[in-house]
Structure 1
């Protein structure tokens, strides 16, 4: 049961349009095309606009390579049991980051064949459980990641954890379930 349903079409106004402007083209800034998550978030246009600016960085401007970013997001979604986030990023992982179905399933489960990718997935769990990376983990990750990439990693885990909390609390439904 959704605690917060998508904003009804008759309540979409200039503020809602402005909130979505930085993320999607004009033809998609409506309740039918925006998707259930965005259509729900726009109950609070100012918050949505502020948060989407951050989210755009995480998804489109992050210094993390797409493959690593999607491994991290898939693991975050699994740890927070957020099916909406997980299913949307399975598609992105496959089409934009080139992950195979087996790699996607392994990332969701928290495993990877590559030792660095395993350390990366373990860091997601560490951040989620302790809200910090140990010096050992930071040092190991810094052998492969720059300081900016490490920062993007931490903010990706935090940002997608926040989205998972919101989506799970609001009861965001898949578009085909509406």
Structure 2
């Protein structure tokens, strides 16, 4: 496998970049992606068996099971980060070691239904909050402890819409492999 092939498996929709300009139309579009994501994911994986769930989406990558549990972990962290940014002035958020979380037994062996139910409820609450943010609230920021970047909530909405589509593409590309069809 070439380096280019591996990169396209790692980033099937490309790497995330913060948009230079963000419009209200963009925000609406990204919230819609976040809102629909649990439903799209459920439809994609509902017929996966354990062999498929335990297949990595790329060489040395996480299994589908780990990706689904990662999505719940990541989006829970994001929701909390939004709350911090809304209730504190430029909070320094806590990072987490997603690779270590993905190696825990609940992520490697747990039934995906736990995370599917969690994603459904979490996204419903998150989207309710997102749809009710004011223009001023969308501009509130937080500080990432690893990069030191100051990110606005509108930047984060873009990032997590990308995150939904990024991991959906990982699983969808795997599902389209000839041996699975």
* TM class, shorter-length: 0.3 to 0.5
Higher relative contact order (CA 8 A, sep 6+): 2
TM-score (ref. length: structure 2)? 0.34
